[in-house]
Amino acid sequence: MTTTAEQRVSCTITGGVADVRLNRPDKLNALDQAMFEALVATGLRLRDDSSVRAVVLSGAGRAFCAGLDFGNFQQMADGTGRVPDREAVSAEPIGPAKARGQRAAHVWATLAVPVIAAVHGVAFGGGLQVALGADIRLVAADAKLSVLEIKWGLAPDMTGTQLLPELVGRDVAKELTYTGRVVSGEEAAALGLATRVEADPLAAALALAGEIATKSPDAIRYSKQLLDMAGRTSLAEGFEAEQHAIKALIGSPNQTEAVRANLENRSPNFTDPTT
């Protein structure tokens, strides 16, 4: 039998590209307990699958994700108090992420392969924070994005406060958080909140993921690891990590295959990483 959590997120893998879709279109993919659980479970499953070379994260229907399920706000208004869907601490943290909502967003950042978010419709509150867990965000020009928590008397609690300043600068992050104002896809790209605007974000994301999947998976994984260290560790540690990576890559089977394929003017035939 398929559980509610399993129904909340669909995942198909084709040619090394995992097509992951939030699948609650009638609720604009709003985040309820089942959605949080499905996002975490899907991310962890893909993290352990060495055949996956890139991931596309999108929303079914008219939106990427409208944020926390409206029913939770009704509970707050009724005086129920703390809502467990988002705040519950799991017995198995994902790195520094312990609360369920943090895990649902942060799990995508822990994948060794690139994750591309394709954003259309709305990405509000927790939905935006899930998108921030991706490496790249492709957005529709008319998409609507917002750090919406302030509207409900809340502060972002799904990793957003730690990621926004890195993307848009501390002052812009504060302005967006303090006001909760909605920005278009065009403005999001101009601010650095999105990577770029695409007429069809999902098609563009799948095409980009397909291109990435043709590159050496070892080189891609090391590159993501190194880029994620930038600004989060010392230059000495970053430089040392670069040297470790290049020594591991040079002469490895996939690196040798990349050289041979280029010299022979053919497509490379890479093997999946062992870990």
Q: Are residues 183 and 252 in the same domain?
A: no
Residue 160 counted as domain residue: yes
Residues 178 and 245 in one domain: no
pLDDT in tens, 114-130: 999 999 999 999 999 99
Domain hosting residue 257, numbered range: 217-263
For 246-270, the pLDDT digits (tens) are: 999 999 999 999 999 999 999 999 9
SS (H, E, C) 109-160: HHCCCCEEEEECCEEECHHHHHHHCCCEEEECCCCEEECHHHHHCCCCCCCH
pLDDT of residue 212: 98
Q: What is the pLDDT of residue 92?
A: 82
**Residue 70 confidence class, pLDDT cut points 50, 70, 90:** low
4 has a pLDDT exceeding 50 = yes
254 and 192 in one domain? Answer: no
Whole-structure pTM value: 0.92
Gap between the Cα atoms of 231 and 234, Å rounded? 7
Q: CB within 8 A of 171, min separation 6: which ones?
A: none
For the stretch 192-208, pLDDT in tens is: 999 999 999 999 999 99
Mean pLDDT of 71-96: 62
> Is there a single domain that holds both residue 20 and residue 118?
yes
How does pLDDT run across 37-49, given as a tens digit for each residue?
A: 999 999 999 999 9
Give yes or no: residues 247 and 202 share one domain: no
Which positions ≥6 away from 196 have C-beta within 8 Å? 138, 139, 189
pLDDT for res 84: 47
Residues 118, 234, single domain; the answer is no
Kindly state whether residues 96 and 138 are assigned to the same domain: yes
Q: Do 15 and 125 share a structural domain? A: yes
**Pair 224, 178 in one domain:** no
Given a cut of 70, whether residue 91 has pLDDT beyond it is: no
Residue with tokens 């509610």: 4
- Give the end of a domain, one of 212, 239, 254: 212
The pLDDT value given to residue 274: 80
pLDDT at 2 over 70: no
The predicted structure's pLDDT at residue 21: 98
Phi, then psi, of 43 in degrees rounded to 5: -60, -45
Same domain? For 88 and 72 the reply is: yes
Please state, for a pLDDT cut of 70, what percent of the chain lies above it. Answer: 89
Task: Give the number of other CB atoms < 10 A from CB of residue 128.
Answer: 30
State pLDDT tens for residues 11-38: 999 999 999 999 999 999 999 999 999 9
Asked if residue 127 lies in contact with residue 64, where contact means CB atoms within 8 angstroms, the answer is yes
259, 150: one domain: no
Are both 13 and 92 inside the same structural domain?
yes
**Residue-level pLDDT at 1:** 40
What domain count does the chain have? 2
pLDDT value, residue 77: 56
